Amino acid sequence: MRLFGPKATPLGAAPIEGFDLLLSDLDGVVYRGHLAIPGAIDSLTRAAERARVAYITNNAARTDETVAGQLRGFGLPVTADDIVTSPQAAVALLAETIAPGSRVLVIGGDGLVDELGKAGFEVTRSADDNPAAVIQGFAPDVGWPQLAEAAYALAERPDGSQLPWIATNTDWTMPTDRGLAPGNGVLVSAVHTAVQRLPVFAGKPETPIYEAAFNRFGTRAALMLGDRLDTDTKGARAAGIASLHVLTGVDRPKQLVAASKDMQPDYIVENLDGLHTPYPTAVKLKDGTMQVGTAKVRMDGHVAKVVDEGDSALNLLRAGCMAIWGSGLAIYGLKVPEILYEDHWN
């Protein structure tokens, strides 16, 4: 600890301040595999005393009640109404696209079937049943036969018409107990290759899932809590809300310093305790140096220079991000010292 040295930048409000709604991702934020992330449940319970906390997930394999049951098992007092899923957003899009009660070809699992039933649509698994649309989401048993049915149904007709195609999300990977596995984006890509067009997407980072949350909870004063820049942060920015990136999941310091403008979070915290901790302000000094706390980083042309490591690895990461992001330069053209993206939190 420094007794003397550079003056730290002022502390601002804790990230939770000023928001009516917190939208929390699940895997990598609340839990990892079958275990709750240390401290996450207490932090979310505390947050619920000050704001509405909802849980937003691209996982289309499970129903909202199944997700709620898992969270209750961790000690969170949630119901299905607190869960916003990509199947919910996808079915809402479907309802704007085809007639009520239409038959829909489902490529996916219980999450999609459950939401289609709630909305009054008829489910089929065969392209021969003359469906009015195709809806696709991840399920672990989706394989070639199901993907082939989608391709058959989505083939262009002799008159040039095509069935509507809605997919829950674009995630290329999904975390499992054994590591990262192919996600729904890979399965959608297989069908895309066969039919030479893309679906409309409902989940993060697209905005329909966020709009579903805003409509349900009656506010847009929301903060997204996430661990993936390409879904959680990018989606939040597209929806016009703030985002907090937590270093307990997928994207690490290396991805943060390299983040493009559409994937730069408003807050970077070690864990969800950071929701409740006053957040240090970033100050641009006269020579262009970015200071966060006592950490200082300056861009000298295409070179990121650590002026002062400061007294916090996290503030050094924050300062590095602010300096690099503020340069407007593409990361592949920069020289970045390893100390700026060293992972102290993995």
The residue extents of the domains of the chain are 87-201, 280-338
Average pLDDT score, the chain: 94
Task: Give pLDDT, residue 63.
Answer: 94
- 3-class DSSP assignment, residue 44: helix
Instruction: Answer yes or no: are the C-beta atoms of 209 and 56 closer than 8 Å.
Output: yes
Domain 87-201, CATH among 3.40.50.1000, 2.40.480.10, 3.30.1360.200, 1.10.3210.10: 3.40.50.1000
**Rounded to 5, what percent of the chain is helix, strand, coil?**
35, 20, 45
Q: What is the mean pLDDT of residues 138-155?
A: 95
Distance CA 111, CA 128 (A): 23
Query: What is the mean predicted confidence (pLDDT) over 143-168?
Result: 94
Q: Report how far residue 305's alpha carbon sits from residue 320's, in angstroms, rounded to the nearest whole number.
A: 9
Which residue from 96, 112, 116 is spatially nearest to 211, judged by alpha carbons? 96
In the predicted model, what is the mean pLDDT of residues 66-84? 96
| Residue 3 confidence (pLDDT) above 80 | no
Question: Using an 8 Å Cβ cutoff, are 206 and 217 in contact?
Answer: no
What's the CA gap between 190 and 187, in Å, rounded?
Answer: 5
pLDDT for 10 equals: 95
Q: Contact 293/282 with Cβ under 8 angstroms?
A: no
Strand, coil or helix: what is 251?
Answer: coil
Per-residue pLDDT averaged across 26-30, rounded?
Answer: 94
**Is residue 311's pLDDT more than 70?**
yes
pLDDT at residue number 333: 87
Higher pLDDT, 171 or 119: 119
Q: Residue 240 corresponds to which amino acid?
A: G
234-263 pLDDT tens trace: 999 999 999 999 999 989 999 999 999 999
d(C-alpha 28, C-alpha 334), whole Å:
29
Report, as residue numbers or ranges, the catalytic residues: 25, 27
Residue 119 has pLDDT above 60, yes or no: yes
pLDDT at res. 5: 62
pLDDT at 1 over 50: no
Are 158 and 172 in contact by the 8 Å Cβ rule? The answer is no
Res 218: pLDDT: 97
Confirm if 322 and 282 have CB atoms less than 8 A apart: yes
Q: Say if residue 137's pLDDT is above 70.
A: yes
Residue 172 has what pLDDT? Answer: 87
Cα–Cα dist 124/331, whole Å: 47
Q: What phi, psi does 173 have (nearest 5°)?
A: -130, 160
Q: What is the average pLDDT across 332-341?
A: 93
